[in-house]
Structure 1
C-alpha cells in the first residue's frame, strides 16, 4: 500500500477510517487479536505505527530501525509489538508507552519474518542470512540459532502448543524444529522451486507450504509425510493459510486468483477471481466464514 491505509467494516463494506501518516509503502499490517482494538503497521519509511482500531487515531510512532520495516507481530498479551527490518534486526516495543524495549541483533541479513509463541515468552525470527533465531522475550537474549537451510528463510512459525517451529526457505524445503532444543527433526521436501510461505494449522498436526513452482503441499507434522499436493494455480503461490477449523486451505497467487482447497482430498473448492494483478496476501476471519485478499492492483476484496 502506498499512501494512507483504509480501514473497512467487512460486513457492510463501509470505509471506517483512513490511517494516514506513513511516508512510504505500508508493507505489513496486523490486528492485536483476539482483542482487535489496536492495529500495527510497518512501513518502508523505517517506522512502525500503532493505531486505535475504533477511532483511527495514531497512538505511537515507533522510530529506531535504520531500514524498511517488513514484518511485525503483537505478543498474545497485546503488551508488545515486535518488528523485523531490512536493517537485520528485530525490535520489541511497549504498546502502552511507545518506547523501545529491546533490539534483537545477531542476524547478518534482512529479518523477513517473525512470530511469538502462544505463551508470549519466545519470539522466532527468520532471516535472509539462511538462519532463524529464537529469542527469550523476558531476557531479550537469543536462546539458539536454527542452522541448516541453504537459502533465505521466507517464513517461520510456532505451532499452537509451542513445541515445534516450522521454517520455509528459498532452498525449496521446509524444516521442522524442536522449540525446546532448536534441533532439526525433519526436512520437508518435494517442491521444485523456492518455498515462499509455510504455516501450521491450529491443531499443530498439519503444515501447509506454498511455492514458486505454482503448487502447495500439506504435510503431516508427526510423520513428516506429504499428504496432498494442491495443483491448479498458473503461477507462483506467495501466501497460504488454514481456515480456523483446519478443513480448508487458502492460497494467493501471481496468477491473479486465490483458491480454496479441501485439506484432505486436495480438491479445489473455489477459485476467487476478480483481481486484475497478482494477489500477495490472503487471510480468513476469526470465524472462518469470510476471506480477505490483498492485491498489487491496489485493492482488497472481501469474499463470503
Structure 2
C-alpha cells in the first residue's frame, strides 16, 4: 500500500499486485540460470553474444505465449462456470414414452436414431443457452463511477437511507458519489498522501479517511443531492443515448451540486502514528475512531476531541486493516504477521485473542453477523471463524489469487471476495461457491480488485467494487432470499 512520499505514493500495493499477476517464474524454464561456466568460457565472445540474444528472443516469445495462456484460462473458467450451472437436460417426449413402456423397446431405424440425436442436441443446447442468459441477468454491471486518476484502494457505503458511496484513492483524494446517477458529489483534498481507506459514521454525516501522510481525517460528508425529478429523467433516458450524451447529462446533474464540491480542511485530524495509516473504523455509536498503521499500532481516538484513549500493541509486523463490530465494542485488526487479533472493549481489562491459521499476511478480517469473522490473506485463502471457537476455522475457501478487502452481506450472508487476478467471487457463509462476476473486454476490472462493499438497500446497485485500474463499478447481484 502506498507511502507518503511522492515517489512511493500509490505504488506499493499496486506494485505488489502487478508483481503477483506476473510473478510466475516458477512455471517458466530458467533458461539462463544453470548455464555452465566452463562451457561458456569455451565459446568465443561473438558466439556468446549471439547466444544471449537468442535466449532473450526465446524469453520474450515465452512471455507472449504465457500472457495468451492466461487469457485463455480466463475464458475457460468463465465457460466452465456457465456449464456447471446447467442441469441435466430434460428428457424428450419420445424418451418419456419409452420410460413408461414396460415392454421391450422396439427397434428403431437409422433415421429415427438420427432424429433423436438431433432432438436431444437441441434440447441440451437450449438449456446451455438459457443458463448463459440466467448468469448474465444474475450478475449485471450497472454503473461506472469515473473520476479518479490513480488506483482506488477502498469503496465504502454510507449509512442506511443515504444513497452515497465513498472512495479512497492513491491520487491523494477521497470522493463521494451519488449511487443513482454516478456523478461525483464531493472531492476531499485534505490529505498529503495516498488515501488508503474511507469509512462512514453509522449515525451521522461524518467520514473518516486514512492516508500515507501518517494521519486520519474526520470530515463532514453533507452534500446536496440532485433533485428527484432530474434523477428520474436522467435514469429513464440514459438507455437511449450514446456515451458522450450520458456524460453531458451527468454534467448537467453535477451543475446542481455547487456547495461543498471541494473540501480541503478536515474537521479533525487524528495523529499519533509514526507510519502509514492503512485503515480506520468507527466504534459502535460513532463517538470513537480506531486507526491501524504500519507502525504496528492501533489507536483508539475520541472522535470529538482527537484525544488518544488507548494504544493497542502486540502485532509483530505492519497492520493492514481494522474493522469494528456493528453492535458491540469489538475490534479486529489484521497484520502482515499472518495473524489477526480480536480486541474486546466490553470488559474493564481489555481481552485480546489471537487468530492463527494463515501462512502469509492477513489483508482483511471482517465481522459476519454477531458471532463470526471472515478473514482473507495473501496465502490465497479465505477463512470463516466462530468467535466461540477460535482454535481453527469452521470453513476455508481456497482460490488461485491473493485476497483483498472483502465484504459480507449482513442479511444474505454472502461473501464477496476481491482478488489480485481481477476476479470477484461470491461464496455463502458456509464456504460454498455461488459464482463469479462477469469479466471480459467490456465488463469488469482490468487490474487488481482492491475492495468491495455491499449495499443491500439499493435495489439497482447492491455491490460496489474498486481497483487498481482506477475504476469504481456498481453491480446488481440477484441473490435469492434465504429462509
1:195 maps to: 362
2:206 maps to: 80
In structure 1, the gaps of 5 or more residues are 3-9
Choose from 107, 120, 133 the match for 2:273.
107
Query: How many Å apart are 1:286 and its aligned residue?
Result: 1.3
Choose from 421, 440, 453 the match for 1:283.
453
Structure with higher strand content: 1
**Matched position secondary structure for 1:197:** strand
Query: Are the counterparts in 2 of residues 243 and 288 from structure 1 also a CA contact under 8 Å?
Result: no
Describe how 1:223-234 pairs up with structure 2 within 5 A: 223-234=389-400
Choose from 112, 117, 125 the match for 2:291.
125
Query: Are the counterparts in 2 of residues 219 and 227 from structure 1 also a CA contact under 8 Å?
Result: yes
Query: Are the counterparts in 2 of residues 32 and 78 from structure 1 also a CA contact under 8 Å?
Result: no
Describe how 1:233-248 pairs up with structure 2 within 5 A: 233-245=399-411, 247-248=413-414
CA–CA distance in structure 2, aligned partners of residues 162 and 231 of structure 1: 27
Describe how 1:120-159 pairs up with structure 2 within 5 A: 120-159=286-325
**Matched position secondary structure for 2:410:** coil
Describe how 1:154-169 pairs up with structure 2 within 5 A: 154-169=320-335
Change (3 A) 1:60 1:160: closer
Choose from 418, 434, 455 the match for 1:269.
434
**Matched position secondary structure for 2:434:** strand
- Report the TM-score, using the length of structure 2 for normalisation: 0.54
CA–CA distance in structure 2, aligned partners of residues 301 and 38 of structure 1: 12
Higher deviation after alignment, 101-110 or 279-288: 279-288
**Matched position secondary structure for 2:451:** strand
Query: How many Å apart are 1:101 and its aligned residue?
Result: 1.5
Shift >6 Å, 4+ stretches: none
**Matched position secondary structure for 2:202:** coil
CA–CA distance in structure 2, aligned partners of residues 111 and 151 of structure 1: 14
Query: Are the counterparts in 1 of residues 142 and 474 from structure 2 also a CA contact under 8 Å?
Result: no
Query: Are the counterparts in 2 of residues 42 and 48 from structure 1 also a CA contact under 8 Å?
Result: yes
Change (3 A) 1:194 1:163: same
- Report the TM-score, using the length of structure 1 for normalisation: 0.82
CA–CA distance in structure 2, aligned partners of residues 196 and 48 of structure 1: 21
Query: How many Å apart are 1:207 and its aligned residue?
Result: 0.5
Rg larger in structure: 2
**Matched position secondary structure for 2:316:** coil
1:175 maps to: 341
Change (3 A) 1:291 1:32: closer
Change (3 A) 1:282 1:72: closer
Higher deviation after alignment, 154-163 or 26-35: 26-35
CA–CA distance in structure 1, aligned partners of residues 372 and 467 of structure 2: 27
CA–CA distance in structure 1, aligned partners of residues 145 and 474 of structure 2: 17
CA–CA distance in structure 2, aligned partners of residues 213 and 18 of structure 1: 31
Query: How many Å apart are 1:87 and its aligned residue?
Result: 0.6
Change (3 A) 1:284 1:182: farther
**Matched position secondary structure for 2:393:** strand
Higher deviation after alignment, 173-182 or 272-281: 272-281
- Which has the higher relative contact order, 1 or 2, with Cα contacts under 8 A spaced 6 or more apart? 2
**Matched position secondary structure for 2:267:** strand
In structure 2, the gaps of 5 or more residues are 1-9, 11-137, 223-259, 479-483
CA–CA distance in structure 2, aligned partners of residues 18 and 254 of structure 1: 20
Give the aligned length: 292
Higher deviation after alignment, 77-86 or 127-136: 77-86
Query: How many Å apart are 1:29 and its aligned residue?
Result: 3.6
Query: Are the counterparts in 1 of residues 154 and 452 from structure 2 also a CA contact under 8 Å?
Result: no
Query: How many Å apart are 1:56 and its aligned residue?
Result: 6.2
